[in-house]
Structures are given as C-alpha cells and as structure tokens.
Copies of this chain bind each other. A is one copy, B any other.
Amino acid sequence: MKRPTIADVARRAGVSKGAVSYALNGQPGVSEATRQRILAIATEIGFSRSSAARALSAATAGAVGLALCRPARTLGVEPFFMALISGVEAELSARSYALTLQVVADPDAEIAVYQRWWGERRVDGVLVCDLRTDDRRISALEQLHLPAVVIGGPGGTGELASLWSDDAAALTEAVEYLVALGHRRIARVAGLPELRHTEIRTDAFAAVCQRLGLVDAVTVWSDYTGEEGGRATRRLLSSAGRPTAVVYDNDVMAIAGLSVAQEMGLTVPGDLSIVAWDDSPLCRLVHPPLTALGRDIAAYGAHAARHLLAVVAGQPAGRVQDETPHLTPRGSTAPPRQR
C-alpha cells in the first residue's frame, strides 16, 4: 500500500508538482478553480504531505519538544505534568504541530537532548519546565539559538522567552487567609529547594510572615514526594509548639500530610489546617477535601504552547505573565481550636 505523493496528485490533476504545492499551501499562483480541483483530488486519494520532505525543504520540523527532568516516581504521581501536557497538546494539534516528549535523568542529560534535537532539526522549539536557580539549561539554549519558552520565573530566564505566574502573590494570599482565620503558627512544607519557584515562594513566605509578625513561621524542605511530605509533617507535628496550619508546595505532599495528621490522632481542620498547592482532583478526593491554591494548568500549558509558536515564528521573546493561582477554600481549613 503505497502512500500517495504530491506527484500522484499532480498527475491526476494534470498539473505540475509546483501547482499542487501552491494549491495546498494556499499561496497565489493557481486559479481558484484549479485549487479546488487539486484539493478535491488530494482528499480523494488520501494524500497528506510527508512531514520529512516538508521539514527538509521548508527547514521547519513541525514539532516542538518537551523534556521532563524529574525522577520517574515524582513524575507519575503529580497530576501537574499530565495536565500541562494535555494543554500544550491541545494548542499544538490545533495548528498541526506535533509534540515530542523525552524523559531525562538530570539537567545535563536534558541539555544533551536539546543539542541532539537541534542537530537533528527534530524540533522547532522547546518548552522548559522546572526552572532552577542558576539554571545551566538557559545558557545552553541561548548558545544553541534554539527557540524556547521557559515555564517559570520571574527571573533567571536569561534572554529566553518565558511564561510565569505570580506564585509570591498566591502564597501571600494563602497566608493572609490563614491569619484571618486566626492562625499564628504557620508552617510550610516546601518542594525541592533548587527549583526557582520554590525559592520564590520561600522568599514570599518569609516576607509575609515578617510583615504579619508571625515569629513562629517555619519552612521545612521536602522533595515533592508523598513519602517525604509525610515525614516532614510528622516532624512538624511532633515538635513543641506545633503549627496550627501547614501550607504544602504540592497536592501530593498535602495529602500525605493530611494522612499523617489523622494517623497521629489530630483532626483536620480542628487541630490542623491544611492548604495545598496545585489544585488537582486529588484534593477533592480526600476527606476533608483540601483547601488549595490552584489554577487552570491545561490553560497554562496551552498558553505556553501559543507563546512558543510565536517565538518560533520569529516574534520577540517576551516574558508573559499567566493567571495568578487563587485560593479555593474547602474543608481542610478552619479557625484554630483554642488550647
């Protein structure tokens, strides 16, 4: 079963390959009548253009790359990436771009993947996730001149285009909400410290706690896994002067924290209020459902894809701000019980 080529269409239509190409691309050079005839024949014999041939002569791959650099165990559990991917995908497939995915072990492997993709002309641009502090990938991408959109920031994105959301404002909102409920001893279970957004949230947390005079505020470090999130919670709740509220850097750790609290005989939200970051369906799965800082992650991905396609098309590499995560109060937060 031979796949039809542009020459087959041309032969059936009684025109040259060039005419067919003009017709297919909506370019001037053929009459409207001929164009319609060619398009009809193309549809009839089930013709579609070889992506390879197109890529070769048009010097465009028709694909964008996404390299994910988290250990497999974190990757799978967090709904974040899958939601992001489906958003990216929706935008790309609407413009018939393909998404090429690669899971890598560390930033150096990721840089190697970028170099290979660039060398092979396999992608027209890439989306960069999980921005780090002093991220080597940024300068590597700048050197390659590979169009890229960094999902993260603000700051630390070099000359590259980026899409960021105001995590600092969101975290501030969450803390102010807890304080308004009457909490004074608030802890935060943070994600990996080398990630830029963790740093931003940490700074924001320190700032708002100082502003509101929360001297007992404490941040403990974790790695986004449920296991570590649970351990961190156990540590916090066992300490003297334990917090009455905890803010988690993702949903998975928040759920683990909830279950540790319940295991220790504490009631949520009576003894402990919990706020999760990344409002996924997981937060509504547990009892009580978790108050969360959320946003439309699929829309975030779609936005990033649109921005990347614009950069690929040669538009200036802007720093675009996306929606700020907002707080959705649910059953896991309440005024602290008097002790």
Contact = CB atoms under 8 A, between A and B. Distances in A.
A286 interface: yes
Interface string A198-231: 0000000000000000000000000001110010
Number of copies: 2
A255 B286 contact: yes
A196 to B, nearest CB: 22
Interface residues of A, number: 66
A185 to B, nearest CB: 23
B3 A121 contact: yes
B103 A86 contact: yes
A301 to B, nearest CB: 10
Contact of A287 (B56, B102, B262): B262
Interface stretch (A18-26, A93-101, A317-325): A93-101
A260 interface: yes
Interface stretch (A31-39, A70-78, A186-194, A305-313): A70-78
Interface in A117-157: 118-122, 144-145
A169 interface: no
A286 B259 contact: yes
A249 to B, nearest CB: 15
B98 A100 contact: yes
19 contacts: A3-B118, A48-B119, A49-B119, A50-B55, A51-B55, A51-B120, A52-B55, A52-B61, A72-B83, A72-B298, A73-B281, A75-B86, A76-B281, A77-B82, A86-B103, A98-B102, A226-B282, A226-B284, A263-B287
